[in-house]
Amino acid sequence: MAPFHAVKCCQRGLSWIPVIFINLVVCWSYYAYVVELCIFIYLLVFHVFFFMFIWSYWKTIISKPASPSKEFCLPKVDKELYEKEENPEAQQEILKRVARNVFIYTCTGSGAIRYCDRCQLIKPDRCHHCSTCDRCVLKMDHHCPWVNNCVGFSNYKLFVLFLAYSMLYCVYIAATVLQYFIKFWTNHLPDTHAKFHVLFLFFVAAMFFISILSLFSYHLWLVGKNRTTIEAFRAPVFRNGPDKNGFTLGFRKNVTQVFGDQKKCWCLPIYSSLGDGYTFPTRLVNADSEQGNAEHQAIKCTVDGQTNPRPLSESQNHLLGNDMHSEEQKDSSPTNIEVCQPVSITMENES
C-alpha cells in the first residue's frame, strides 16, 4: 500500500505543474507590461482584464466539483446483494428497484441503469466518473489539467469566464504591444533590455490568444446547444435511443441554464447557474434538429405518472417556460388539470 500512496502523492504533485506554469507566465507578463512597458493610459484597462482573469481562473481552480448525494448510493442491503450477485441481469434488477427512488432519464447504450462500480452509486443524468479526480462529477464536461480540476455543473460558468477573460487579457496585450513590436523590427526601439520583453510578450500573448479563441468558441457553441464536451462526442442515451439534442431547450434558455437568469451576474465569476445538477429539463427528440427534421416526443415533469422524489426546482420549471406549455395546449383538447398535482406533459409524434 505504501508504494501506491507514494505514487498517488507524486501524481497529485505533478498535476499542479500546468497551473504553476500558467501562473509563472501570467506573473512574467504582468512584470513585462507594467514594469518594462509602463504606459499609464494602457495600465488602467490592463488591470481590469488582469483582475477579472485572475479572479475567474482561481475560482475555477478552487471550486470543488459537485458529486452525487447519498440518495444515489445503494442501501446497505441492496449493495450486499449486488456484490454477491454474479448474473448481470439480476444485478440490473437490483439497480432498477433502487432507481425507482431517484429521478433519471438516461441509460447505457444497451438500456441498462448507469452505475459506477468505483463510487458504488447510480449515476444521475449527465454525471460521469473522472478517473483523475477519482469521483463522479455532476454534469461533467471534462478534466482540465490547466486548472487541475474537473469542469462540471458547479464551475462550468467559471471555466467559460476564465476562457473569456484570458482571451481578452491576451488580445489586449498583443494589440497594445504591437506598435512597439513593429518598432523593434524597424530598429526604432531604444536598445535596452526592455525590447526583448516586448518581443516575447507579443509572441506569447498572440500564441495564447489563438489557442484560447478556438477553445472559447467551441464552449460557446456547447452552451448554445446545452451539451457537455462528453455529450458532444457521445450522445446521451434516452429510452428511445441516443439523442444529442435531448437536453436542449432553445438558445436563450440554454444560455440561461449555465449563466443564470440575472444578466447582471453573467460577467462575474460567481456561481449563478440554474438547477441542482441532478435533474434537467429535457426536450426529447429522435432526429437532429440541426437538419430540420426534429420530432418532439416528450417533455415530462414526472416519471410514468409517479411522483418525482426530487421535483424540478423553481429555476428548472422556469426554464421550461410558459410558452412551451401554451404551445402544447393548442395541440390538445381542453382538459381539467389540477395545478397542485404533478403532471406528465407529452407531445404526439409528428408524422
Which residues are designated catalytic? 144
The answer to whether the CB of 180 falls within 8 A of the CB of 198 is yes
Give the DSSP letter of residue 324: H
Q: What is the 3-state secondary structure (H, E, C) of the chain?
A: CHHHHHHHHHHHHHCCHHHHHHHHHHHHHHHHHHHHHCCHHHHHHHHHHHHHHHHHHHHHHHCCCCCCCHHHECCHHHHHHHHHCCCHHHHHHHHHHHHCCCCCCCECCCCCCCEECCCCEECCCCCEEECCCCEEECCCCEEECCCCEEECCCCHHHHHHHHHHHHHHHHHHHHHHHHHHHHHHCCCCCCCCHHHHHHHHHHHHHHHHHHHHHHHHHHHHHHHHCCCHHHHHCCCEECCEECCCCCCCCHHHHHHHHHCCCHHHCCCCCCCCCCCCCCCCCCEECCCHHHCCCCEEEEECCECCECCCCCCCHHHHHHHHHHHHHHHHHHCCCCCCCCCCCCEEECCCCC
